Chain A
Amino acid sequence: MTGSAPLHVLAAGALLAATAAAPQPAAAFPDEPITIVVGWPAGGAQDTVGRLVAEYLEAELPVSVVVTNVPGAAGANGVRDVEQAAPDGYTLGTKGVHAVAQSYMNPNATPLDAMDPLALVNIDPAAVSVHADTGIEDLESFIAYLRDNPGGLINGNDSPGGFSFLTAELMERALDIELTKVPYQGYAPTVSALVAQEVMSATLPVPMVADLHEAGDVNILAVAAEERHFRAPDVPTFTELGHDFVFADYVMIFGPVGLPEDVRDTLESALLAAMDSEDFRAAADGIGLILDPQGADGAAALMQATDAAVHPVLVEAGLVETDAQ
């Protein structure tokens, strides 16, 4: 009997150790609510997609997933909140092309290597449209007009660094043309400026102008994607027309760098599972998203490709304020 006492103590100790170890993150992630930070106001594209993902991610995890909007500084404030959060997997964020541009333009913005992409949700390809009254009906006459009159079309776009601004810059290079670029605060004012002919062309994504195109008020000339856009199937891609120009905005979910391996894996597979559900696809289809669900590697590759495309443009436009890259 005397010999067995220490054994009991040992067993009890082992049991205690086991129970104490149980709530460690390794075994039980996640056990508290996860926050997805959106760097834009409620109602925008990043917010809409962020909320959709949160809703379906919740079904894959035992905890709730909440969206917080931290807008300001062209999305940089929200991205920074994620960067500075503890890398425990409980704070994630959404981001698009804006985060790449801001990382160079704004010394206070988060550098790209401080973001860890976990999954890609959707892409939103660039496009170029003109008002029907310009009489320009296809990309060839658009190019011809601008070659004859460099800067002769006023183009509505974002302020520098925004997606539709970068579209205009990249398109100018790809087609060897020159536009007069006028910035607007967001897509909706750009659309109304195009309709009212304050601008003659606009580098807006297809969903913003699809209805106007159908009504004949606006001609979408080309889409900068591998495939035609389902909202405007009659519009050719730049590639079809012989121009090498593919560029898309996107929404990806990312976290701060330094996530534990298992937490990262859990999140990545939960995100992929959420985006794989029938209902998610139906909901995304309903709001006109082009889904492109990919895991961490795919998301990182897209971020690198965007970086490679955008960086030279920013350098040439004199917008790079940081010494990154």
Chain B
Amino acid sequence: MILEHFADTLLTTLLDPRLMLLVVVGVGIGIVLGALPGVSSTMALAILLPVSFGLEPGAAMLFLIAVFMASVYGGSISAILVNIPGTPGAIVTQFDGYPMAQSGRAGHALAYALIASSIGGLIGLTLLITLAPGVVAVAMSFRSPEFAMAAVFGLVLLSFASGGSTFRGILVGLIGLLCGMVGFDALTDVSRFDFGTAALQGGVELVPLTVGIFGLAEVLRNLAARDGALPPVPSIGSMIPPLGSIARLWKTILRGGVVGTFVGAIPAAGSAISVAIAYAQEKRLSRHPERFGKGEPAGIAGPEAANSAGVGGSLVPMMTLGIPGDPITAVLMGALLIHGLRPGPLLFANEPGFVATIYVAVFLAVLLTLVIGFGFMRIIAQVMRVPRALLFTAIALLCVVGSFAIRNSMVDVYVMLFFGVVGYLLYMIRIPPAPLAFGLILGPILEENLRRSLIISGGSWSIFIERPIALALLLLSLAAIVAPLVVPLLRRPSMRPPRDGAP
């Protein structure tokens, strides 16, 4: 059924010049923003989110997912050309991409990344389409107790996620939970933590918070950093690598894509982990591990496939359970909520056409990234030299205008400014700001469903143990807390994955 919707939506989108223009523009902006060091995919999405408010929900998703997908690829461009990852997910791509570019084959490196990225993106999409119905089938039987426990599970995983110490992550997550309590209590409509002001009764909106911590705070960070000019961009040369060497990469790309999707689907695991696994795996399986780090195509293709496949993977928990697995899907979820669409099993039941639109958006974004990437690479490489002062001023402006646009309220602008400063301060004291957003999303889900469960059970906490799925989620949460304490005791030497440095 979903495939019929997919075909229908694909056709109407292809035949609608306005929608296609949105995707093309989204992909173009996405590649450029992704390629700019200092602008992560999350930031690109956060600052462009408000642009989508005026669009109908389907068109907004087409645009935002185009930006998302393209920026994930764009990150590899600066990694290859100037040895600075444009986004955290491209962090491994430079290991082999930069040496290859230095040896005069920049075009080849970019092409390997682009092809692997596109195929990886399609693998992620395919797995998303196949996996989602299964997760939804389970999630359909979710009632209040299960949603409460799913939120607990999400909070536990996400507190490990964001780099730095788990303790600090949890601390910030708790502050996020508190922010989620500002405004009207979901169950009693009593206003809380509003300090007697009407302004705070509407609560802390997700979008101004994410625009603040992922947009404005990053601007402040970049402005405060010493303004090192980018190293010169090497000449790109031919973008057509030998066909044989592309063909030899098919297994690498397939493996990378599958790893990327599954790691991406685990809340909190994130792209930095999946690319590290993909790289390590290719190096281990290669007959020439010594070539890695010196310009080996498999060292580019594996991680890039994993990185782009992660987009499809990260949409699985967000769309099926309403639990964002990383900061990017948290921002995307903000966009859905603005349009009155709450992701979760009900979305699949009530809006199958809209779900298909998201699939179509990923599909078109992948294809157009491939086309635009090959067609305009030389121009994109030049855009990387845009003066940083100009760039960050424009982004700061977008942050302000965008926050106002959410519901035409200056309060949201003040909230955005506040969290921009908070985000920067957190960065200064080396605390990841992303759990703020997770706490803000999951807190109200947890509170509402927990309290409702207890009303239904007449106050008995056994409702969480008597229901099998709720119990399973509770046990998984416990395991996730206990595992990091127990595993080191087993003293199994293993590679520690690099942490996700910047959200």
Contact = CB atoms under 8 A, between A and B. Distances in A.
A180 B28 CA distance: 55
Contacts of B203: 72
A108 interface: yes
B404 to A, nearest CB: 12
A71 B407 contact: yes
A74 B189 contact: yes
A193 interface: yes
A183 B452 contact: yes
Contacts of B251: none
B240 interface: no
Contacts of B202: 71-73, 77
Contacts of A44: 340
A68 B54 CA distance: 11
A70 interface: yes
Contact of B143 (A41, A76, A108, A193): A193
B187 A183 contact: yes
Contact of A43 (B185, B188, B340, B349): B340
Contacts of B143: 193, 196, 198
Interface string A33-77: 000000001111000000000000000000000001111111011
B201 A76 contact: yes
Interface in B339-376: 339-340, 346, 349-350
B189 A162 contact: yes
B339 A182 contact: no
A188 B452 contact: no
A154 B456 contact: yes
A83 to B, nearest CB: 11
A69 B346 CA distance: 24
Contact of A105 (B189, B448, B452): B189
A306 interface: no
A159 B188 contact: yes
Contacts of B338: 41
Contacts of B448: 185
A141 interface: no
Interface in A70-111: 70-74, 76-77, 80, 105-106, 108
Given A106-B201, A108-B198, A183-B452, A70 B407 contact: yes
A73 B194 CA distance: 11
B191 A106 contact: yes
Interface string B406-418: 0111000000000
Nearest to B140: A196
Contact of A80 (B185, B198, B407, B456): B198
Nearest to A192: B346
Contacts of B456: 154, 182, 198
Given A73-B184, A192-B346, A68 B408 contact: yes
B183 interface: yes
Given A68-B408, A183-B452, A198 B144 contact: yes
B186 interface: yes
B386 interface: no
B455 interface: yes
Interface string A198-215: 100000000000000000
A184 B350 CA distance: 18
Contacts of B189: 74, 105, 159-162
B198 A77 contact: yes
Contact of A182 (B191, B197, B409, B455): B455
A159 B455 CA distance: 13
A159 B184 CA distance: 10
Contacts of A72: 183-184, 201-203, 407, 409
B186 to A, nearest CB: 6
A160 B201 contact: no
A120 B183 CA distance: 30
B366 to A, nearest CB: 30
A42 B186 contact: no
Interface of B: 141, 143-144, 183-189, 191, 194, 197-198, 201-203, 338-340, 346, 349-350, 407-409, 448, 452, 455-456
8 contacts: A41-B338, A42-B339, A72-B409, A77-B202, A108-B201, A162-B189, A182-B456, A196-B143
Interface of A: 41-44, 68-74, 76-77, 80, 105-106, 108, 154, 159-162, 180, 182-185, 188-189, 192-193, 196, 198
The 8 closest A-B pairs by CB, nearest first: A72-B202, A43-B340, A73-B201, A108-B198, A159-B189, A198-B143, A183-B187, A161-B189
